[in-house]
Amino acid sequence: MSELLQNYFAGRWQSGNGKGTTLVDPVLGTELVRVDSTGHDLAAGFAFARAAGGAALRAMSYAQRAEALVAAVKVLQAHRETYYEIATANSGTVRNDSAIDIDGGIYTLSTYARLGAGLGDRKFLLDGEPQRLGKEPLFQSQHVQVPTRGVALFINAFNFPSWGLWEKAAPALLSGVPVIVKPATATAWLTQRMVKDVVDAGVLPAGALSVICGSSAGLLDQLQPFDLVSFTGSAETASIIRACPTVIRHSVRLNVEADSLNSALLVEGAAAGSEAFDLLCKEVAREMTQKSGQKCTAIRRVFVPEALYGAAAEAIGARLSKTSVGNPRNDSVRMGALVSRAQLASVREGLATLRQVTDVLHDSDGRPFVDVDADVACCVGPTLLGSRAPDSADRVHDTEVFGPVATLMPYRDAEHARALIERGHGSLAVSVFGDDFGACAETAASLAASHGRVHVVTPDVGATHTGHGNVMPQSLHGGPGRAGGGEELGGLRALDFYHRRSAVQASTEVLSKFGPAQARE
């Protein structure tokens, strides 16, 4: 029987008392490790995190907590190759795709270490300038932000076991809030190993970082009024969390990142074969195949002017035809597998749904996979669909296939394009491609209300932009409506979620003892 991974909970490593769930290599079909969370004293674990981890973190300044994050970065960098091996085995990703998760997580952690160092020796933050409450300036109001005296529970998705952990944990720990992470079971191994390495290195106070792998049963029941929940996953699960009696009763602060039908748009005026046109086609193909399309930010819908529909279909298809799919251990492979048989079945089901209202413009699923047993491996080739009637293709605007699938659609004019994009009911990201700077700026402003991030690509940044689906810690991550309504990252803005704002009304002399306000970076 495979190894049972331990959970770090209540300040010690401990195993569940059940048989556990076996994690399987999605390419080879071999058993890897087991995870189990049954039998733990959940109340004791949450209490230890709040009391021991929270008190120790709050006793440190922002600069001291930033130093702890620097130490954690060094630990993670020392074990990078082990993480790559785990990602290949457990997630079925090629090395470049594993880097997005592993190195992206480490980079995000190091970014918050740098931001925290700039906050200095403070233990709480000032929010704005003092405001007089009367005719005389003697008595004023100063808003402050102080770390919440609760615990942050992270319920994470399967697609980013490293980045999903650290993009949440970095601002939480910097804020002085202890973390309990519950990774998605299918890919929990990498999260568990990273937490183990950091915990065993002793760079964080006991109780500051905990991990529990397996079932999430009972976790939400442990929440108290000052606790926080950050969830990444399906809108269906998000609705269950929102309706949890404990969350409602205690008004638990909740951040949700859910489904997202992200778009790419080629603005009017760009011709077929132009640099802007080529940049769009390149980015669409990359987003479809990177991590086998298993990214919450991946491009799902592509909009081009009506006259360019055929040319775009041909150009994107030509790029997709060069993508070899199969065993990520083979150097010739450019796209690995989906993470599980369940995910493979979900993608096939979603693809069948979309095919009822679309044409197949490029289908590489029939090509032989490289160095795998097709009956065992969770591999699927990229598929580009198309609809010349986007106004009536309701399913394209409602159904997200979490795999290497996108749908190309034509639009009549700028207003038509905006209306089609907004039928996604709120998304994490949209990319705008064009060579007319004014038109790109106007389009970006019009789409900002329905997207957490607007990524504008013009020829002058064609070689330097960070990528449609690449979530940078300096920029906001989240989105309205269907995307969950949450906000993460965005530099120091991420700390807002883990702080409580309060107004201190006092004399000018008392307020002066708080020191000068700290500017956001």
The pLDDT confidence band at residue 519, using thresholds 50, 70 and 90, is: low
- Residue that wins the pLDDT comparison between 266 and 18: 266
- The 10 Å Cβ neighbour count of residue 486 is 22
- Asked if 391 and 397 count as a contact pair (C-beta separation under 8 A), the reply is no
As a whole number of angstroms, the distance between CA 33 and CA 16 comes to 13
Give the active site residues. Answer: 257, 296
CA 365-370-372 angle, to 5 degrees, is: 95
Compute the C-alpha angle 259/429/387, nearest 5°: 75
Domains of the chain (ranges plus CATH)?
3-258+486-512 (3.40.605.10), 262-474 (3.40.309.10)
CA angle 60, 66, 70 (to 5 degrees): 130
pTM: 0.96
Band (pLDDT 50/70/90 cuts) for residue 518 is low
Residue 168's CB is within 10 A of a number of other CB atoms, namely: 27
Give CA–CA dist 304/316, Å, rounded. 12
pLDDT grade, residue 478 (50/70/90)? very high
**Which segments of 335-470 does DSSP mark as H helices, in order?**
341-355, 394-398, 414-422, 437-447
Task: Kindly indicate the confidence band of residue 516, based on its pLDDT and cuts at 50, 70 and 90.
Answer: confident
- Over residues 441-450, the pLDDT tens digits come to 999 999 999 9
Can you tell me the mean pLDDT for 168-186?
98
d(CA 357, CA 301): 14
| Local structure of residue 51 (DSSP, 8 states) | I
- Tens-digit pLDDT profile for residues 124-146: 999 999 999 988 889 999 999 99
* CA 505 to each of CA 124, 135, 500: distance values in angstroms, whole numbers, following the listed order: 16, 15, 16
